[in-house]
Structures are given as structure tokens and as C-alpha cells.
């Protein structure tokens, strides 16, 4: 099984990034498709998806406001 880093973000999402081939995979330089977590890295940030969501402009901020 090939080794992957697990990145744990503060939003509780996890992403895996490739770290090293296992022996059979190294021979063909192709990832075997099985993941084993080598190291878990804690990141004090939101993942890309959440970051995108959080930094989106508040396009609906002025909707729903009623004039008296
Ligand atoms: Zn492998
Ligand atoms: Zn996230």
C-alpha cells in the first residue's frame, strides 16, 4: 500500500496527498490505489473548499431587507 500524508484541517475535513510508493508500485511507478496513512499533519486552516465558501462575497446580504 502506498503511503499518503493526511492533512487534517480545522474544519474537520481531511485530504490525502501522495507521499511514497510501496514496493510493487515503485517498480511500475504507478500508485497501486491503496492508501495507508503515513503521517497526519494538522493544519490550522480551512481546507480549500471551505476557504472558498468563507471568502465568497456575501451576494445575498442585501436581499430580504424590507422597507418599512
Ligand atoms: Zn501501494
Ligand atoms: Zn473544509
How many Å lie between the centroid of ligand 2 and the Cα of residue 50? 4
Reported as a single tens digit per residue, the pLDDT across 4-46 is 999 999 999 999 999 999 999 999 999 998 999 999 999 999 9
Instruction: Please state, in angstroms and as integers, the Cα–Cα distance from residue 15 to each residue in 8, 36, 40, 66, following that order.
Output: 7, 13, 10, 43
How many Å lie between the centroid of ligand 2 and the Cα of residue 30? 28
Count other C-beta atoms under 10 Å from residue 9's C-beta. 19
Ligand nearest to the CA of 48: 2
pTM of this prediction? 0.68
* pLDDT at 61 (0 to 100): 55
Secondary element (H or E) of residue 39: strand 35-43
Of the pLDDT bands very low, low, confident and very high (cuts 50, 70, 90), residue 68 is low
CB-based burial label for 25 (10 Å; 0-12, 13-18, 19+): middle
Ligand nearest to the CA of 33: 1
Ligand nearest to the CA of 43: 2
Amino acid at each position: 500500500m502506498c503511503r499518503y500524508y493526511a492533512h487534517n484541517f480545522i474544519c474537520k475535513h481531511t485530504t490525502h496527498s501522495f507521499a511514497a510508493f510501496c514496493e510493487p508500485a515503485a517498480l511500475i511507478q504507478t500508485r497501486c490505489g491503496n492508501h495507508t496513512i503515513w503521517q497526519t499533519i494538522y493544519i490550522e486552516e480551512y481546507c480549500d473548499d471551505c476557504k472558498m465558501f468563507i471568502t465568497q462575497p456575501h451576494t445575498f446580504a442585501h436581499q430580504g431587507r424590507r422597507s418599512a
